[in-house]
Every structure is written in structure tokens, then in C-alpha cells.
Amino acid sequence: MTKLLEEIREMTSALDRQVGGSHYKDMAIQPLEYIMANKLDYCEANVVKYISRWRSKGGVEDLRKVKHYVDLLIDSATDSLDKLLMPLTQRIDPTIDADALDKLDEGRKTETIDKDGNI
């Protein structure tokens, strides 16, 4: 029990202890500190985590994980941009054929209605 109390007293914060190694504790700035200070999302945080530890823990496998999370970020950013550029009708119902709608709109633009409501 005395040893446990001594260990508890030595711990000043959660950053001072690490479960499963010392690959983060030995860094000048722990990835978690950087992640929290910069309010990174899940994928961004994993990029920082894995790139920071690859030499001391996971090796090439960690680099593959970095690549995977970067690919997810690219897909997400591209998908978001594509959705912004997509016509509103397709955002609502992706099965709508944009070309068919354009032709329909073009046809409507050339039609005129007389005073009796005839086309």
C-alpha cells in the first residue's frame, strides 16, 4: 500500500503517466498536448499520433495508418467540396439526372404563355 501511495503522489497529471510504454512521455511535446491545443478532429489527431510515434513504436505500420487517415481526410474534403458544387436538386435526390433537368429548364425558358394562359 505504501508503494501505491508513493506512486500516486509522484503523479501530477495524466500526461505524466503513460500506459504501455514511454514513446509519448519521452517527447518534448506530447501528441495529445498538440492535439488538444489545436482542437484537431479524430482523423487529424490520429495523423499526429501515428507520425509522432512511428520510429519508437509501430514502425512502417504506423506510417500506413498515417496514410490511411490522410486519405480519409482527403476523401472527406473532396466529398464536401463536391457536395457544395453539386446542384441543389442532386443534393436532395442524387437519382435526379442533372442533364435531363437542364434540358427541361432550357425548354421552359423558350416557351411563352399568351394572355389566355396558352403555351
pLDDT under 50: residue ranges of the chain: none
Residue 49 lies in domain: 28-93
In Å, how far are 32, 105, 110, 118 from 114, measured between CA atoms? 70, 19, 13, 5
Is residue 50 in some structural domain?
A: yes
Quote the pTM value. Answer: 0.56
Is residue 19 in some structural domain?
A: no
Is residue 84 in some structural domain?
A: yes
Number of structural domains found in the chain? 1
Task: Give residue 78's pLDDT.
Answer: 84
Are 35 and 48 within 8 A, CB to CB? yes
Is residue 108 in some structural domain?
A: no
Is residue 55 in some structural domain?
A: yes
Is residue 87 in some structural domain?
A: yes
Query: What's the pLDDT tens digit per position in 74-101?
Result: 988 888 767 766 666 566 666 666 666 6
Is residue 10 in some structural domain?
A: no
Task: Give residue 47's pLDDT.
Answer: 97
Alpha helices in 11-117 (DSSP H): 31-37, 42-53, 60-85, 88-92, 98-110
Is residue 110 in some structural domain?
A: no
